[in-house]
Structure 1
């Protein structure tokens, strides 16, 4: 049986959204369902929304006019909320995409979710947490711009070498280290979704992270997918079952036992085994370690001994793990 295609309403607050983000936003929306309704709200008699008129027709977005009747009152927010409630009670949709960086839509997002529909939020990274957490998932438009730039550079064969170098520098600036709170959240996700052997399905981890932290996005850390982020962290064992990835928190005692086993299987007559052979053996296991040589050297010298002879590094077992 085919999966149901979700029908979504895309409601855009023109006063608090960037016109340059709309193409990327609609591409992202397509990952979650079909944009059955596409409306953008604002005072179209204002010169500040002039650029929006150029994107309405190409993207089949319906403009909704709302005059600012009173200075200081945001009439645009009101008409968007009224339309959203009308669409909600119509019962023809599966979810809403609210495009705005305004926290005023927090109650709307909460109300829609109370009715059992999914809410996707799109806004700038500095959008208040109240709105982010009111959504089922919040996507930063800055991350969408990153994807757009990379795709353009990958498909344009005439991009100069200097441009590619600039792209690499920009990506490194955007790429951030995973903060302690997020790392602890990943640990908890693995713990709460693991089986008796400690293995947890990556899909369940992703769902857990999005539920607890709606604005969690692997693109904030330089990865398009969660699997790439997990591998780079280098603190989880991973394995594949068909096309599905599983992970569990790496155990140092398990690592020592695997190292000792690799040494035993590759020792020469003098009881020494080369690092090269040991590492090759470890790479066949479920371990996911960025630098095997450094990891081996962190093992206490009461368990294994290492030596360097020229460019060749070797190790031997001193004492077996209990």
Structure 2
């Protein structure tokens, strides 16, 4: 039933975004003990250990794919995005980092223009500018210090890489189930991140390893939830609900770290949500194409 699939898609995307907020909270908690590349590596390694038994239950056929190159590209973009976003979550307020992550949908038309030669409409270009205006409004004076500027630029790069990964997922979703997509992401991401991880190795306390394990489980569940959401309904219909994570991040940041919930945060967030709504509405595929937009 289409309405049932839509409601389940909304549920899974909100659930996934909540898990990503929890992931960001763990990053802030352990950022002084573990290096960014250690977090990326162990997140993927533990995620791989979590997913492999699920695929083994389905037999060897569950691992078979004809799209290894796309899986590798998705992993490379994902590692770049994840490392950027981890650094951002560790460096600035939880709500600000979440807001930068939510710039992702605004970059998808840019990726489609560069890669797929799909020229964006004026309204999509306007929505991207509106999103950046929201970012500028949210930024506080302390965010404009050198470290804050670097974290913000890194977060925007992370959103751009993540948008590229989303476009690849859209291609993979036509033939690959959610668990296989996430499995190959974790497999290739573990291999890609192990070299810089050893280069920046820090000795880790046992309790930090436990936090890294929790970090990996939360991130993997969030990834499975959002990937599954886009197999239930098209991104144009349910993607806007990912913005539910912004007030959740603001509230949790205030409760746990006493991070200020300031007026500019809500004004800027409102502009970003409006920009996202315009992007989702005007990027929505025509009905005959909806079936191919899964991912």
Give the TM-score taking structure 1 as reference length. Answer: 0.21
Say which structure is richer in strand: 1
Give the TM-score taking structure 2 as reference length. Answer: 0.23
Say which structure is richer in helix: 2
Tell me: higher relative CO, structure 1 or 2? Use CA pairs within 8 A at least 6 residues apart: 2
